[in-house]
Amino acid sequence: MTWKFHIHAIEQRRLFSRILQVLESQMVSIRSFAGEVNGGGVRVVFVVSSEEDRAYRIEALLHRLEDVQSVSVLHESRIGSRG
């Protein structure tokens, strides 16, 4: 299954690296990864392939990262139905 994650965080050194470490620790296949820093904030969007339980574990681990303000995750079937 494919999952799309959106993360908003306060700008901090090594944030991208820490997110990638979470993904590596869960041994998922990363399909895409993009990040943008603007005005002290960070927005990261990435798509991974994994089972449902692992996707929700990733979401929980991302919430635990310092300075992460929000995390949302969508299953592939919901991605195609948006706007």
Domains and their CATH numbers in the chain: 2-77 (3.30.70.260)
How far is it, in rounded angstroms, from Cα 19 to Cα 14? 9
pLDDT digits (tens, 9 = 90+) for 6-16: 999 998 889 99
- Residue 70's pLDDT band (cuts 50, 70, 90): very high
Summarize the confidence of residues 22-51 as an average pLDDT.
Answer: 95
Q: Residues 57, 20, 72, 77: is their CA dihedral positive or negative?
A: negative
Please say if the pLDDT value at position 83 is more than 70: no
Those residues with Cβ within 8 angstroms of residue 12's Cβ, 6 or more apart along the chain or in another chain: 42, 66, 67
pTM of the model: 0.87
Length of the chain equals 83
